[in-house]
């Protein structure tokens, strides 16, 4: 067992400035939040990459220097395709989980509603 060297901050010490970015406040994160947050970030990044590739082709077609060379453009396209496959796989897994557990979720939601 390794002893921890991390100490707990005293009450009078300032809180850390860094807080991880979240699209939705933690108290409002319900259901498939983590998956949706990841999909949002992956979709945004992929859209940016594809826009860069498109801009490169437009610059090249107009006689200007390309933004990306063919090798980099091909690498970014492959990355974008792989990203979309990851998203698809994660969504498929999540939908399978949702279908397998739909009855449990409905029962829990009804119990929560009844308790409110």
pTM over 0.85: no
Domain-located, residue 8: no
Domain-located, residue 51: yes
Domain-located, residue 86: yes
Q: What is the pLDDT of residue 5?
A: 46
> What are the tens digits of pLDDT across the range 12-39?
788 878 777 777 777 777 777 777 888 8
Domain-located, residue 78: yes
User: Structurally, how many domains does the chain consist of?
Assistant: 1
Q: Which of 98, 90, 97 is nearest to 43 (CA)?
A: 90
Domain-located, residue 54: yes
Domain that holds residue 66: 32-115
Domain-located, residue 80: yes
Domain-located, residue 70: yes
Is 50 exceeded by the pLDDT of residue 87? yes
How far separated are the first and last CA of the chain, in Å rounded? 45
């Amino acid at each position: 067992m390794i002893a921890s060297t991390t100490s707990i901050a005293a009450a009078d010490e300032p809180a850390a400035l860094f807080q991880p970015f979240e699209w939705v406040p933690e108290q409002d994160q319900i259901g498939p939040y983590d998956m949706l947050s990841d999909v949002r970030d992956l979709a945004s990044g992929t859209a940016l990459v594809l826009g860069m590739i498109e801009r490169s082709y437009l610059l090249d077609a107009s006689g200007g220097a390309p933004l990306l060379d063919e090798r980099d453009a091909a690498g970014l396209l492959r990355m974008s395709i792989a990203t979309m496959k990851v998203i698809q796989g994660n969504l498929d897994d999540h939908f399978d989980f949702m279908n397998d557990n739909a009855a449990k979720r409905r029962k829990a939601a009804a119990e929560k509603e009844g308790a409110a």
